[in-house]
Amino acid sequence: MFNKKKKEEEPVVDQNRTEEGAENTDQVTNDATSNTSEKEVESAQELSAEEKLQQDNTALNDKYLRLFAEFDNYKRRTQKERVELLQTAGKDIIVSLLSVLDDFERAIKATENTTDVEAVREGILLVQQKLKGILTQRGLKEINSKDEPFDTDLHEAITQIPAPTEELKGKVIDEVQKGYTLNDKVIRYAKVVVGA
pLDDT digits 0-9 by tens, 4-46: 554 455 555 555 555 555 555 555 555 555 556 676 666 666 6
In angstroms, rounded to a whole number, what is the distance separating the alpha carbons of residues 188 and 181? 7
pTM recorded for the entire structure: 0.51
b/e sequence 68-77, b meaning 16+ C-beta within 10 Å: eeeeeeeeee
| 141-196: CATH topology | Nucleotide Exchange Factor Grpe; Chain A, domain 2 (2.30.22)
What are the residue boundaries of the structural domains of the chain, listed by start?
Answer: 24-88, 90-138, 141-196
In angstroms, rounded to a whole number, what is the distance separating the alpha carbons of residues 191 and 179? 7
pLDDT digits 0-9 by tens, 50-96: 888 999 999 999 999 999 999 999 999 999 998 888 777 777 788 88
Q: Do 176 and 193 meet the contact criterion of CB atoms below 8 Å apart?
A: yes
Three-state DSSP class for residue 150: coil
Handedness of CA 125, 126, 131, 135 (dihedral sign): positive
